């Protein structure tokens, strides 16, 4: 008897965007800035996740709301990567998000333009399509901000529908949309805020493992099965029914480029290398700054470091890694490894360039995971 084909992962993006990434030697507010490069790519959180999943070879269906006037960029991406296009077309143009990348600091400044208001009929058509597609046990990701016209009710109708269909729901959003989603009472299999987004949600700083664990316990009590918090250059935190872990970041180094004046510039974010020695665990009260090298060390080239071309989309790639692993039947700890590997692989790419499966697999083998142990545990 043949095994049934795995159900595709559904990615749902109510508010996609054309990402216009502008690279500068340095960002000088109030002055004329001359760009060294500009790229335009089909984007939005769920679209980016679908793109990374397709690179890995996972079956994926992209749902969302695309402006019909500039849908061609999305259609080209879907065709190139073999992503099933189930997006609704709405009047007008999909919004543009401008990302300004400064080579000297590696910082990215985001300017998100408003999108068109979504007609009620288009939203209802999207919900009806989700109702017909979602199956029990199928992974479905709702991701990104909400367009004008949907912000009042938020993600609640979509999440309730997915729950009724028995889907495993992942949510990647922030601000009011995240707060509304948690308040609607739908059980969620996964949320993945970054630390700043989680601090904003809870209204308090979260500098230590203790703080993150307490925050995760509160979210578990609200019906969230697994919480993953991206910590930038400090890696990623996960709390799930299987345990709590901290994944150290893989070592990365900025790529040096030349500005118009010929001066060598540093481009890309920085990360710090985890020790290759196995770690016995972290007590929950230990500060996450522990062991962080001085700032000068962050930019020191390492022979085993991955090069950084852009930090744009790394968080979305992390979500894709988590979903790819769970879709393949792996546990949450292994999913955390793949999340870090996907994100690191994305750092070495620009725009919607494809990630190599072989590269991701090699990176996954390097990821160090530390269990966060209870203070009462021997």
Residue 266 CA to residue 107 CA, distance in Å, equals 11
Task: Determine which one of 19, 55, 211, 316 is catalytic.
Answer: 316
Structure tokens at 177: 């949309």
Give every CB contact of residue 177 below 8 A, 6+ residues apart in sequence: 145, 146, 151, 154, 155
Residue 49 CA to residue 65 CA, distance in Å, equals 16
Beta bridge partners of 236: 230, 247
Residue 233 CA to residue 263 CA, distance in Å, equals 26
Backbone phi, then psi, for 300, in 5-degree steps? -80, 125
Structure tokens at 1: 């008897």
Asked if 100 contacts 20 with a C-beta cutoff of 8 angstroms, the reply is no
Q: Is 81 left (phi over 0), alpha (psi -120 to 50) or beta?
A: alpha
Give every CB contact of residue 4 below 8 A, 6+ residues apart in sequence: none
Other Cβ atoms less than 10 A from the Cβ of 283: the count is 13
Catalytic-residue membership of 316: yes
Asked if 192 contacts 336 with a C-beta cutoff of 8 angstroms, the reply is no
Asked if 157 contacts 127 with a C-beta cutoff of 8 angstroms, the reply is yes
Asked if 287 contacts 207 with a C-beta cutoff of 8 angstroms, the reply is yes
Residue 122 CA to residue 80 CA, distance in Å, equals 26
Helix extents (H) in the chain = 45-56, 72-81, 120-133, 156-164, 175-183, 195-202, 209-221, 295-298, 314-327, 332-347, 357-364
Q: Which residues are catalytic?
A: 316
């Amino acid at each position: 008897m043949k095994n049934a084909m795995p159900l595709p992962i559904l990615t749902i993006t109510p508010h996609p965007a054309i990402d216009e990434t502008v690279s500068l030697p340095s960002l000088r507010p109030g002055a004329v800035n001359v760009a060294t490069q500009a790229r335009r790519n089909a984007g939005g959180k769920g679209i980016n996740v679908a793109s990374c999943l397709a690179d890995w070879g996972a079956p994926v269906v992209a749902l969302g709301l695309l402006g019909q006037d500039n849908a061609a960029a999305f259609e080209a991406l879907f065709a190139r990567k073999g992503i099933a296009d189930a997006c609704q077309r709405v009047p007008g143009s999909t919004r543009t998000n401008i990302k300004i990348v400064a080579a000297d600091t590696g910082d990215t400044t985001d300017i998100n333009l408003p999108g068109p208001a979504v007609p009620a009929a288009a939203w209802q058509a999207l919900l009806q399509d989700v109702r017909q597609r979602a199956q029990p046990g199928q992974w479905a990701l709702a991701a990104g901000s909400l367009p004008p016209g949907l912000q009042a009710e938020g993600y609640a109708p979509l999440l309730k529908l997915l729950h009724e269909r028995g889907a495993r729901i992942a949510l990647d959003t922030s601000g009011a949309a995240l707060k509304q989603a948690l308040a609607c009472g739908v059980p969620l299999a996964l949320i993945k805020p970054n630390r700043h987004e989680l601090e904003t949600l809870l209204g308090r700083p979260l500098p230590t493992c203790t703080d993150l664990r307490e925050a995760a316990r509160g979210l578990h009590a609200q019906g969230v099965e697994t919480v993953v918090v991206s910590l930038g250059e400090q890696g990623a935190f996960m709390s799930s029914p299987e345990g709590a872990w901290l994944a150290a970041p893989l070592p990365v180094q900025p790529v040096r480029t030349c500005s118009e004046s010929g001066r060598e510039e540093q481009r890309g974010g920085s990360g710090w290398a985890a020790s290759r020695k196995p770690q016995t665990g972290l007590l929950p009260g230990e500060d996450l700054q522990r062991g962080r090298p001085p700032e000068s060390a962050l930019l020191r080239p390492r022979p085993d470091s991955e090069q950084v071309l852009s930090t744009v989309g790394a968080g979305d790639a992390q979500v894709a890694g988590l979903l790819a692993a769970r879709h393949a039947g792996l546990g949450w700890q292994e999913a955390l490894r793949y999340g870090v590997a996907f994100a690191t692989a994305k750092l070495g790419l620009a725009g919607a360039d494809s990630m190599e499966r072989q590269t991701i697999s090699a990176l996954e083998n390097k990821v160090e995971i530390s269990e966060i142990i209870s203070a009462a545990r021997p």
